[in-house]
């Protein structure tokens, strides 16, 4: 069965979301289905068009998969390794220790390291209001809604097998047998260090929800050579 | 730092840009708003409100995680904003940093962005008149 | 006994769109009982016999990019006109590319075909690979795999 994977990217202004208590107006979703009819790109409600195909007996002919990644608007680029903060912490510790060349030292497991938006480590003590902290990417904790209840999508959370770039992401297979517009709800956990507190002790947390939709379309699968069922190949020699 | 640091994430649909040979409908800008007052957030026409001493930080994000995208240049009137680029230490992931030198007041100062996408040899450039911009009107 | 040969066209979509050429970005493979020649290249030669079924599918190397086969043309078939499609009412339809090798195929001759692969939309979105072929071996001319 042929497979098509689609990527959805969400950017959330975490600070504004904490202040307003909603993701409306401060989250921006994108997918690469723009040329194929998706709408709402750059808004808080993305409508992804999914072009399904089915065989004449109604069974699904191709598999569509959605992959979802969410970042904060001031988060570090996702092309950096996920443990970049720890690498920076280890390098800066070894420099303070007077090493003439950077030697990676072990950073205790579970240490929360904060970087600014250009990847430099913050003081590590209190976080002040003036600190330019790179937002910690929001975490999607669940996907619910009619699209899930009606078994249009089957979402699951995955961990990347890559230890360096590892992280959680969500993926969903899509059943395209029922055309129409189906809505799903993302549950998003936002976290940020509380200004003034000891970084290792206090974090604010807030779970908010955000809706998006799938516009499922279904086309019967036809043979490309005949327009109907299978037939002879139009084999001719080149003149 | 006397001013705010304002982030601009430049989102690119690399496949669409390469297939249509155009950045139209393939680029969107999302900005942080410590000052508020920005318009067009989530679109190509992001207009960011700035004051003297503010720093703008541009990074690129490609929609397809496997696709390479990099900003090669930010072109803006240096009278209002001077730009330099840097890399995240230990990597070749680049960012662009602009320092606001003069308050644009009511003026709208557009800026262009040049990209290197995929393994295409030539850069691709946002075309006028559809450009993002900075504007002032905020007391320093 | 009916035999099916699957031809997979693996495409590095970003490379193909960047360089506008199948060179280095298209890799074709088949799984027939008589393994084809030039496996992994765009010049695949697939052995077959009349009555066999041939299936073509495309597989993107970079998984989240879109790629579909828009056409497969043999011989003196009309040149593809940009944007035109055989039967689709709208561009979002996709097709299954399967067919039976007809009985009147001449053994020993290379039946070249062209595949049009569409990646996203736009002026540069279609890549045509026209260097692969199907061949019916002449009896006693069956090659062992290279």
Per residue in B128-140, pLDDT (tens digit) is 888 999 999 655 4
Maximal C-alpha separation, chain B: 44
Rounded Cα–Cα distance for residues B76 and A146 (Å): 47
Q: What pLDDT is recorded for position B116?
A: 97
Q: What pLDDT is recorded for position A174?
A: 93
**B52: pLDDT strictly greater than 80:** yes
**A73: pLDDT strictly greater than 80:** yes
C65 contacts C119 by C-beta, under 8 angstroms: yes
Closest Cβ opposite residue A7 in set C64, C76, C105: C64
C74 in reach of chain A (CB within 8 A): yes
Size of chain B, expressed as the number of residues it contains: 140
pLDDT in tens, A159-194: 765 443 346 678 899 999 899 999 999 999 999 888
Q: What pLDDT is recorded for position A163?
A: 43
**B79: pLDDT strictly greater than 80:** yes
**A237: pLDDT strictly greater than 90:** no
Contact A35 B20 (CB under 8 A): yes
Size of chain A, expressed as the number of residues it contains: 239
C53 in reach of chain B (CB within 8 A): no
Q: What is the 3-class SS of chain B, one letter each residue? A: CCCCEEEEEEEECHHHHHHHCCCCCCEEEEECCCCCCCECCCCCCCEEECCCCCEEEEEEEECCCCCCEEEEEEECCCCCEEEEEEECCCCCCEEEEEEECCCCCCCEEECEEEEEECCCCCCEECCCCCCCEEECCCCC
Handedness of CA B111, B116, B122, B127 (dihedral sign): negative
Residue A149, token pair as written in the block: 């209840």
**A91: pLDDT strictly greater than 90:** no
Closest Cβ opposite residue C64 in set A5, A51, A233: A5
Rounded Cα–Cα distance for residues B11 and A7 (Å): 13
Instruction: Give the minimum alpha-carbon distance from B120 to chain C in angstroms, rounded to a whole number.
Output: 4
Chain C residues whose CB is inside 8 A of the A230 CB are 53, 98-100
Q: Which residues of A lie inside 8 Å of C (Cβ-Cβ)?
A: 2-7, 32, 35-37, 49, 51, 53, 61-62, 67, 217, 219, 221-227, 230-239
Rounded Cα–Cα distance for residues C37 and C32 (Å): 11
Provide the pLDDT confidence category of residue A114 given band limits of 50, 70 and 90.
confident
Chain C: touching chains (3 or more CB pairs < 8 Å): A, B
Closest Cβ opposite residue B32 in set A73, A79, A84: A73
Maximal C-alpha separation, chain A: 80
ipTM: 0.94
Please name the residue that has the structure tokens 């003439």: A100
A118 in reach of chain B (CB within 8 A): yes
B66 in reach of chain C (CB within 8 A): yes
Contact C123 B21 (CB under 8 A): yes
With CA atoms as reference, the chain A residue closest to C121 would be A35
Mean confidence (pLDDT) of chain B: 92
Rg (CA), chain B: 15
Which candidate in B20, B37, B65, B92 is best for mutational testing of the A interface (most A CBs within 10 A)? B65
Instruction: Give the minimum alpha-carbon distance from A10 to chain B in angstroms, rounded to a whole number.
Output: 10
Per-residue pLDDT of chain C (146 residues; tens, 9 = 90+): 679 999 999 999 999 999 988 889 999 999 999 888 999 999 999 999 999 999 999 999 887 888 999 999 998 655 554 444 555 556 677 889 999 999 999 999 999 999 999 998 888 899 999 999 999 998 875 555 54
Instruction: Give the minimum alpha-carbon distance from B65 to chain C in angstroms, rounded to a whole number.
Output: 8
Q: What pLDDT is recorded for position A164?
A: 39
């Amino acid at each position: 069965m042929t497979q098509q994977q689609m990527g959805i990217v969400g950017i959330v202004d975490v600070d504004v979301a904490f202040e307003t208590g909603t993701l409306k107006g401060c989250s921006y979703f994108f997918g690469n289905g723009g040329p194929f009819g998706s709408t709402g790109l750059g808004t808080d409600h993305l409508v992804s068009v999914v072009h399904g195909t089915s065989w004449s007996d109604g069974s699904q002919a191709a598999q569509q998969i959605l992959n979802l990644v969410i970042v904060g608007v001031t988060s570090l680029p996702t092309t950096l390794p996920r443990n970049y903060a720890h690498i920076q912490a280890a390098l800066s510790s070894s420099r303070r220790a007077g090493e003439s060349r950077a030697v990676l030292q072990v950073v205790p497991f579970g240490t929360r390291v904060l970087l600014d938006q250009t990847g430099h480590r913050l003081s590590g003590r209190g976080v002040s209001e003036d600190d330019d902290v790179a937002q910690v990417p929001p975490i999607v904790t669940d996907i619910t809604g009619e699209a899930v209840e009606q078994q249009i999508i089957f979402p699951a959370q995955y961990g990347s097998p890559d230890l360096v770039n590892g992280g959680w992401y969500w993926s969903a297979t899509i059943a395209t047998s029922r055309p129409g517009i189906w809505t799903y709800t993302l549950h998003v956990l936002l976290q940020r260090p509380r200004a003034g507190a000891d970084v290792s002790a206090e974090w604010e947390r807030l779970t908010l929800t955000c809706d998006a939709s799938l516009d499922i379309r279904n086309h019967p699968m036809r043979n490309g050579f005949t327009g109907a069922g299978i037939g002879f190949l139009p084999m001719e020699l080149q003149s | 730092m006397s001013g705010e640091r304002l982030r601009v994430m430049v989102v690119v649909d690399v496949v669409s840009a390469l297939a249509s040979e155009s950045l139209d409908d393939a680029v969107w800008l999302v900005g942080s708003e410590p000052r508020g007052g920005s318009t067009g957030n989530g679109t190509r026409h992001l207009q960011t409100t700035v004051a003297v001493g503010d720093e703008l930080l541009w990074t690129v994000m490609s929609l397809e995680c496997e696709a390479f995208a990099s900003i090669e240049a930010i072109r803006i009137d240096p009278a209002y904003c001077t730009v330099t680029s840097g890399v995240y230490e230990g990597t070749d992931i680049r960012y662009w940093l602009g320092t606001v030198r003069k308050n644009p007041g009511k003026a709208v100062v557009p800026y262009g962005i040049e990209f290197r996408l995929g393994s295409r040899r030539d850069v691709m450039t946002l075309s006028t008149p559809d450009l993002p911009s900075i504007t002032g009107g905020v007391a320093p | 006994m009916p035999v099916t040969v699957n031809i997979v066209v693996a495409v590095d979509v970003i490379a193909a769109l960047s360089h506008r050429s199948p060179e280095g970005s298209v890799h074709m493979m088949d799984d027939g009982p008589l393994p084809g020649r030039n496996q992994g290249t765009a010049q695949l030669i697939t052995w077959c016999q009349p009555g066999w079924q041939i299936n073509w599918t495309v597989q993107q190397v970079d998984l989240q990019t879109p790629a579909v086969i828009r056409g497969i043309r043999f011989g003196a078939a009309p040149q593809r006109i940009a944007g035109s499609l055989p039967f689709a009412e709208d561009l979002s339809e996709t097709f299954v590319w399967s067919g039976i090798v007809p009985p009147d195929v001449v053994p020993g001759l290379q039946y070249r075909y062209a595949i049009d692969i569409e990646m996203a939309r736009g002026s540069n979105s279609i890549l045509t690979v026209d260097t692969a072929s199907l061949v019916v071996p002449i009896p006693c001319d069956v090659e062992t795999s290279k």
